[in-house]
Amino acid sequence: MICRHVLRQPMYLPSRLTIRSNSARLFSSSFKVLNKKNSDKPDGKGKNKELITKQPLNSDLEKFSPDLSSKVSKPTGGLPAIDAKLSDLMQEPNFQYDPKNNKLETSYEFHAPKSPSQTKNDQIKENHNKSRFKTMLPSLLVGVAIVWGFFTYDYLRENPNKDTDTELLRDDKFLSYLITFKHKIDDDHYLIELTRKNKGRSFTPYGKLFDGKKLWSIEIMQPDINIVRNYTPLPLYVAGVSPDTKEPHLKLITKSEEEGKFVIVVKRYNTGEFSRWLTNLNLLDEVKIRGPHTEHKIPFHPLDKYQDRPQLSSLLSNIEPDPIYPEEIPKPESFNFYGAGTGVMPLLQLLYSPNPPKGFIHAFISLEKESNLMDQFKTLNYFAEKCGRVKFTYLVSENNERLTPEYINKPTLPNFTGILDMKVSEAAHREKLLAQKKREIKNQIQGGGGTSSPSQVDEIDHLSQKPVIYNGLELIPKIQVSMKPDAKPKRFFFFNKGDDLPQPSFTFICGPENYISYISGKPQLNNLEGKDYGEIGGLLKDKGWGLYNIKRLL
Ligand SMILES: Cc1cc2nc3c(=O)[nH]c(=O)nc-3n(C[C@H](O)[C@H](O)[C@H](O)COP(=O)(O)OP(=O)(O)OC[C@H]3O[C@@H](n4cnc5c(N)ncnc54)[C@H](O)[C@@H]3O)c2cc1C
């Protein structure tokens, strides 16, 4: 078998064999041999011609007749002369046969069979490649999972439902907050610290929210039943917890790094679905908040253009003194605040904010129990009293204290209602300076020993009609007496050290509906503008208060 195989498969031949090429080469070489033989015998030219005739060789041999006339001793030793055609053909130049130029060539691939060891090696290699894929499969899957995760994260990041806001609060959209502290103040009052989710970002500065220029609230949403309720944020955060009492140590928010937090105090009503849900939430539970909603804007006052009143501090000694405001500017407004229970929160928001109101506040707070208000709030309120900003009167039901007419002040006119008040205030200030100057001049004249002549006294009496000029400078300008304000003396009470406190020109009432009705009559808010058209009644009406100087916060 092997021999036959070897014979049939000439292994010594080049694998790519071109038959035409070889036969041509053989043909060419046989001609060369003939040519060489003939060239050795120059006389055999004619015989060679016969050799290349188309007749078979045997017939040529039969016809062969040697030339006996030749002088060659052995005539058989010579060859007949080469045929002229053949000779011409032999004269043609030898050319190299190039199989590539032969378009009709047929090629055959020869694949030697693999030896058993080679087959085995190939098998091993194939298995190895397969097993490498198998071992790499988990890594590939992990890689695919990472890429998928990355794209999913990227998609979620771009997801419009995802919280990408850098605002602390938005009044057109609910933003996510976390409950970062919850403390039970008493049976039905809870302190809750709320922190903006994604606090790593920088948010809209607090100054714009707690600015002492408005009373504002937030809306918290209950996602399951889709209802919202308002609550009053305080500019406080929990700085630590007492290990003994477990009471939080509250600090006022003053610096930007504390942004993203505030505190609310919630009263839990047994019949109140929302307050029960809110006070049942756990630490790090998420709530959706929208705001701020301005409940009342403090009207503009020219003193707003001057330095802010310093914020309170957890230490009395740390509170900066009030700036000295120019006397020719109208004095700040003073107001009453009547609050019940958590209705005190709007007042505390104003008092604890940076830039608290510059006027004086008469605060009457009704509580069911002493425990309703945290001691830390009472301490801060006491500090505010010591700074001459507020006077607190707490009326506690369990001590049989009630709000009675004796706690109701009479209203006064506001210090600033427009530009005319500015001019009046300037005029009053000049008059004050003038009176001071008159006293000085009188003292000089009388102190000099001489008695003043009637003309001199007249001159002094008429000073108020003329400007006081010294070295060409108008020290005290001429006063227009017609602008003398009627309530002028009251405007300077604030600077007197007497017992009288500045009179309020405005009153806030905040609490349950029956409390508000008792003090000021029933509010009427059923209109599109949300304005209070309810007639003023109750204790405030009796003292001369009207709709124009009352704000009922319900
Ligand atoms: C601007 C604004 C700010 C507010 N700030 C705070 C705050 O800082 N802290 C706080 O706890 N609440 C605050 N509230 C009240 C709060 O929005 C809810 O009305 C209160 O939590 C009760 O909701 P509820 O769903 O649990 O009770 P509801 O189901 O509305 O009422 C349940 C029962 O509780 C009584 N009730 C409801 N509200 C009062 C109330 N204020 N006084 C007495 N009885 C009431 C109802 O008459 C009823 O009998 C504020 C409200 C407004 C409008």
- pLDDT one-digit tens code per residue, 235-265: 999 999 999 888 999 999 987 666 789 999 9
Q: Kindly report which listed range (118-132, 182-196, 268-282, 383-397) carries the lowest average pLDDT score.
A: 118-132
145 pLDDT exceeds 70?
A: yes
Tell which residue, 408, 409, 264, 401, has the closest CA to residue 344.
264
Pocket perturbation via mutation, ligand 1, pick of 222, 226, 267, 281 by most ligand atoms within 8 A of CB: 267
Pocket, ligand 1, Cβ cutoff 6 A: 217, 229-232, 264-267, 269, 271-275, 295, 342, 345, 512, 553-554
- Residue 275 alpha carbon, nearest atom of ligand 1: 26
Q: Which CATH class is domain 302-413+500-553?
A: alpha beta
pLDDT of residue 483: 42
Convert the pLDDT of each residue in 63-104 to its tens digit: 656 555 555 555 555 566 777 777 777 776 666 667 666 666
Across the range 527-552, mean pLDDT stands at 93
Specify the residue with its C-alpha closest to ligand 1, atom 45: 512
Taking a C-beta distance cutoff of 8 angstroms, is the pair 425, 329 a contact? yes
Tell which residue, 469, 490, 463, 501, has the closest CA to residue 362.
501
CA 33 to ligand 1 center in whole angstroms: 127
Alpha helices in 68-187 (DSSP H): 84-91, 116-158
CA distance 356 to 354: 6
pLDDT of residue 15: 40
CA 438 to ligand 1 center in whole angstroms: 60
Convert the pLDDT of each residue in 319-333 to its tens digit: 999 999 998 999 999
465 pLDDT exceeds 60?
A: no
Across the range 488-495, mean pLDDT stands at 41
pLDDT of residue 226: 86
CA 21 to ligand 1 center in whole angstroms: 110
Assigned CATH for 175-297: 2.40.30.10
Across the range 162-182, mean pLDDT stands at 87
What are the phi and psi torsion angles at 181 (to 5°)? -160, 140
Residue 447 one-letter amino acid: G
pLDDT of residue 461: 52
CA 230 to ligand 1 center in whole angstroms: 8
User: Is 267 annotated as ligand-binding?
Assistant: yes
Specify the residue with its C-alpha closest to ligand 1, atom 51: 230
Specify the residue with its C-alpha closest to ligand 1, atom 29: 272
CA distance 296 to 333: 15
Q: Kindly state the percentage of the chain with pLDDT values over 70.
A: 69
Taking a C-beta distance cutoff of 8 angstroms, is the pair 479, 464 a contact? yes
Specify the residue with its C-alpha closest to ligand 1, atom 5: 231
What are the phi and psi torsion angles at 228 (to 5°)? -125, 155
CA atoms within 13 A on the CB side of 398: 6
